[in-house]
Amino acid sequence: MSDSIPTISHSGSRKLSETLNRELLAAFREWPLWALLGWNDIRQRYRRSVLGPFWITLSMAVFITLLGVIYSHVFNIEIRTYLPFLTLGYIIWGFISQTTNESAGAFQEGERIIRQIRLPYSIFILRVVYRNFIVFLHTIVIFVPIAIYFDVKLGFVSFLALPGLVLVYINQLWITLALAIVSTRYRDVQQIVTTAVQIMMFATPIMWPISALGGATIIAYVNPLYHLIDIVRAPMLGTAPSQLSWLVAIVCAILGWVLAALLLGRASRRLIFWL
């Protein structure tokens, strides 16, 4: 009786390993496919448009400028300090929130392809994150003229934004995968995700600085989204992120991928019937 327990455990571990290799690692190897799909999504979205995705850049630049002028007075912060802070926070949040909102429909969006061709499901996750990262690259250019105009002091510490951005991307991948699986099984989850993203926008230090909380800074520190934004925003503003922010981002990535892998292992054979 006792000998059967390790056998079952080993069998389950082997099946999970096979699933991850078939559904996850194979998807990364098919990078030309999901990169093409993501790029095509951008092209279709702005078909016959003169500026294409730069419409997002233009509209976001106007929104951030107006918001910066107003909220710099609300929080009594010099605009030369507040506007770069707001710009980076809002652009990074835009990538996180838009990708999260679109994650719920990742598999439904690729339903016709899934039913006709046997492809790793993770391809459709990589597609969603990649296309939103393209939009992020279009919008991050807003920070360049603002940094020049307000003389934002950059240095070697600014290079820390690169590993920070990689961690944000890695975390966004598991979030998108987990939500796509759950939302495909339970369609009401999509509405919950949309509402949660709207709430988290106001609960995360994007438009307001931590100093505005006074003695209630714990509200920011227990929010993982704050730490994900901080490891990119702080270096680009010329300061090093806190060790806590790095720790939270890394731990979230590890635990999140364990959760996403378990969900993928359980759902990989059932997803097609949920569509």
Please state, in angstroms and rounded to a whole number, the distance separating the CA atoms of residues 115 and 99: 24
Which residue ranges make up each domain of the chain?
Answer: 14-41+52-274
pLDDT mean by block of 10 residues, the chain; 275 residues: 43 63 80 88 73 76 91 88 93 94 89 85 92 92 92 88 95 95 90 92 87 73 92 93 94 94 85 82
List strand residue ranges (DSSP E) for the chain, in order: none
Q: Which residues contact 181 (CB under 8 A, 6 or more apart)?
A: 107, 260, 263, 264, 267, 271
Q: Kindly give the interhelix angle for 79-103 and 189-203, rounded to the nearest 10 degrees.
A: 170
State in Å, rounded, how far the first CA of the chain is from the last one: 40
With residues binned 3-state (H G I as helix, E B as strand, rest as coil), the percentages for the chain, rounded to 5, are 80, 0, 20
Give the per-residue pLDDT at 7: 41
Specify whether the CB–CB gap between 114 and 124 falls below 8 A.
yes
Please report, for residues 4, 92, 195, 239, the alpha-carbon distance to residue 97 in angstroms, rounded to integers and kept in the order given.
46, 9, 11, 25
Give the per-residue pLDDT at 145: 92
